[in-house]
Amino acid sequence: MEVYRLIGPASLRGDVDVRGAKNSVLKLMAASLLAVGRTTITNVPAILDVRIMVELLSRLGCTVDYDPEGGVVSIDVPAEVGIQADYELVRAMRASISVLGPLTARMRAAQVALPGGDAIGSRGLDMHQAGLEALGATVHLEHGYFVATAADGLHGTEIALDFPSVGATENLVMAATLARGRTVISNAAKEPEIVDICTMLVEMGADITGIGTGLITVTGVERLSPVTHRTVGDRIVAGTYAFGSALSGGDVTIRGVGLELLPNVAIKLRDSGATVDDLGEIPLSDGTTGRGFRVIGARRPQPIRVATMPFPGFPTDLQPFVIGLNAIADGVGLLSENLFEARWRFVQEVARLGAKVSIDGNHALVTGVEELSGAEVEASDIRAGAGLVLAGLRANGVTEVSGIDHIERGYENFVANLRNLGAPIEQVSRAEGLTFG
């Protein structure tokens, strides 16, 4: 069994480049299905989830060229593509559900297995189904698959989402681009990843207004054209390294993401006593330029109070790092989780490091201690795994994190980047099971 092993306490110092957002690039790849021809996506992170989406699109009949080192994916979409996304792939990555909208819109049929992905709580697909049905599709569950048909094509309509769901907004916007007439989606998600996919769709010839607001209007067109598009930087990865600097008392410059993508995060980091500087446009390692910022952590952070909310609120994906920071803060901090209840699974693992966390409903009260102690812990999802690694930076002794396949789904060169920032971390093999003698 492969694990990450690190020795603490340690501080992160140096520069780190952040490439495109996982939560955007996977949906951009799905959007390529809307246009016949070759779509090229740049600034693509070298992560496992991208490889899974490459395989999914290949099985649908696309020819996909992926250059992980160069960060480029090129997708040749034929006139006729398959309509079935198999359980084998969909269970490994929830973002696979994003092919549902494009396939229903262009091929007028789709069969997508119910998705798997991270164990972070209830994430119902009712809004995806209701939205597609409002657009004129017939959708039902059959043998574990969402089966959607729209023999006469989709038509414009008004859709009011019960919650500003990112996945539902993306699927319905993509489907509406080829629907007849005008579709208005109210209570739409506003995340930067939504803006990114809408921007690419407009480049492809879609007619979309209200991008970045809670009211998106899509006027359907007859066809879309392939394009070359650069993925927006990954604000969650950037936030991970920012919290790593803050909780380790470090000094890290993050390149490729600007603070405008992390407005609430910057406020909370400053509340913890960290210095957060907006660096504006700076050179990136690939020869391009992008925005960046610098975080200098306090010797011991102050506790912070955070409530996770849809953008522009505090991202739920950064919740584990708040708990990790509060765990070694000088006082008592509070985290209120308003989106995904099962993210509390992280708490039982960080407690093994000595964190003092009390759970009451959707609230986590964290009493800071001067230092944590190294232990064996297990990642339950992408962000929980990274959170355990960062907490290990403030733990005295050896911390081993298992379940690292979760982490590698969302972080490019995680161990190498942390080592470059001065963390004594390595990936090693550990024997599984118990030995009785």
CATH code of the domain in which 8 resides: 3.65.10.10
User: Do both 139 and 58 map to the same domain?
Assistant: yes
Token pair belonging to 17 = 């480049």
Confidence (pLDDT) at 95: 76
Determine whether the annotation assigns residue 171 to a binding site: no
Whether residue 436 lies inside any domain: the answer is: no
Residue 415 CA to residue 124 CA, distance in Å, equals: 33
Confidence (pLDDT) at 121: 37
Whether residue 114 lies inside any domain: the answer is: yes
Determine whether the annotation assigns residue 339 to a binding site: yes
Does this model's pTM top 0.85? My answer is yes
Confidence (pLDDT) at 435: 41
Determine whether the annotation assigns residue 22 to a binding site: yes
Asked whether the beta carbons of 171 and 101 are under 8 A apart, the reply is: yes
Residue ending a domain, choose from 176, 199, 230: 230
Q: Tokens 């060229």: give the residue.
A: 65
The domain total for the chain is 2
Residue ending a domain, choose from 209, 230, 251: 230
- Whether 251 sits among the annotated catalytic residues: the reply is no
Domain, as residue range, for 252 = 2-18+233-429
How distant, in Å, are the alpha carbons of 232, 286, 356, 400, 402 from that of 372? Answer: 35, 38, 10, 14, 18
Q: Tokens 């959708």: give the residue.
A: 139
Please report which helix (H) or strand (E) contains residue 13, including its range. Answer: strand 13-17
Whether residue 434 lies inside any domain: the answer is: no
Whether residue 435 lies inside any domain: the answer is: no
User: Do both 100 and 194 map to the same domain?
Assistant: yes
User: 48-66 pLDDT, tens per residue?
Assistant: 899 999 999 999 999 999 9
- Residue count (the chain): 437
User: 100-144 pLDDT, tens per residue?
Assistant: 999 999 999 999 987 754 443 334 688 999 999 999 999 988 888
Enumerate residue ranges in the chain where pLDDT < 70: 116-124, 340-343, 431-437
Determine whether the annotation assigns residue 17 to a binding site: no
User: Do both 152 and 262 map to the same domain?
Assistant: no
Token pair belonging to 196 = 């990114």
Confidence (pLDDT) at 310: 92
**From the candidates 118, 196, 234, 381, which is the catalytic residue?**
118
Determine whether the annotation assigns residue 178 to a binding site: no
Neighbours of 2 (CB within 10 A): 12
The torsion defined by the Cα of 280, 281, 283 and 285, in degrees rounded to 10, comes to: 80
Q: Tokens 């504006």: give the residue.
A: 280
Residue 118 CA to residue 262 CA, distance in Å, equals: 23
Confidence (pLDDT) at 124: 62
User: Do both 162 and 242 map to the same domain?
Assistant: no
Residue ending a domain, choose from 204, 230, 256: 230
Confidence (pLDDT) at 426: 96
